[in-house]
Amino acid sequence: MFELDCQGVIPGCQRVIRAESQAEVFRRAVQQAHQSGVEKLTPDMLDVLRERTTELPN
């Protein structure tokens, strides 16, 4: 299980995104960003999303 607290990364986001794969967390984060009004994710924002996605212990 992987997790991303998108607060402070995606403007206006207060969610913690969890999914079985890192790729799914990333996909949901991009979707959340678009729903929050972010039309284009910058390379820096994408880097931060990757850095803050953590694997949870089983």
Cα(39)–Cα(33) distance, integer angstroms: 8
Which residues, in sequence order, are CB contacts of 23 under 8 Å at separation 6+?
Answer: none
pLDDT at 33: 92
Which residues, in sequence order, are CB contacts of 3 under 8 Å at separation 6+?
Answer: 16, 17, 18, 25, 53, 54, 56
Taking a C-beta distance cutoff of 8 angstroms, is the pair 6, 16 a contact?
yes
pLDDT in tens, 12-46: 889 999 999 999 999 999 999 999 899 888 899 88
For residue 11, pLDDT over 90 is answered with no
The ranges assigned to domains in the chain are 2-55
Residue 1's SS3 state is: coil
